[in-house]
Amino acid sequence: MGQEESAAHKEVDLAQIQELCTTFMKECPSGALHLHEFKRIFGIQRESEEESAYIETIFRSFDANQDNTIDFMEYVAALHLVLRGKLEDRLKWSFKVYDTDGNGRLDRREVKRIINIIYKIKMRNTDYNMTPSEVCDRIFELLDQDKDGQISLTEFLEGAQQDEWVMDVLKLDVNVSGWFIHNRNKDP
């Protein structure tokens, strides 16, 4: 019975992905999704500066060829990652979002920038007793194993999987998949 439920659940997920791809092609018949369209899809046009900065960061992380558009294949890859991706793949994507200069290592400036954005979005309605600077300091204390002031991908992956608090902060879980699902049928 568990296998039947699991198979049905996968079919629903695949149907959702197919529906999202159809929506993409309707909204972007050229096959290219631009940042302003991406923001519109997620309702970010009049939202806070933090949400705008976050969605721009997400957009850039999905724009694999860095041509300032998300083409159909990049969109499908993004959907797969967000809706069905393995934890390690989502963490690698999170690392890419944090690594704004693309050098394969995270410095304090990069981590603090994303933490500031996440803090303002994710923590605004919770009692959280740490400042973004304290969160950044704790991340480096727990992850920077060789104490060189930078976090490698390996340190990032290992640290996130070893500490629940670190995992919660680093995985960028501010409900991107919820945005995909909730906004797929929104009228432009």
Rounded Cα–Cα distance for residues 54 and 161 (Å): 23
pLDDT band at 52 (very low <50, low <70, confident <90, very high): confident
Rounded Cα–Cα distance for residues 88 and 65 (Å): 22
Residue identified by tokens 């490698």 is 152
* Helix/strand/coil percent split, the chain, to 5: 65, 5, 30
Q: What φ, ψ does residue 45 adopt, rounded to 5°?
A: -55, -45
Q: Which of 47, 44, 82 is nearest to 62 (CA)?
A: 82
Q: Torsion over CA of 123, 103, 176 and 154, rounded to 10 degrees?
A: -80
Task: Encode pLDDT of 56-112 as tens digits.
Answer: 888 888 898 989 999 888 887 887 787 777 888 888 888 988 888 889 999 999 999
Contact, 74 vs 62, CB < 8 A? yes
Q: Which domains does the chain have, with CATH numbers?
A: 2-85+176-183 (1.10.238.10), 87-170 (1.10.238.10)
- DSSP strands (E only) in the chain: 32-34, 69-71, 105-106, 151-152
* Predicted TM-score (pTM) of this structure: 0.70
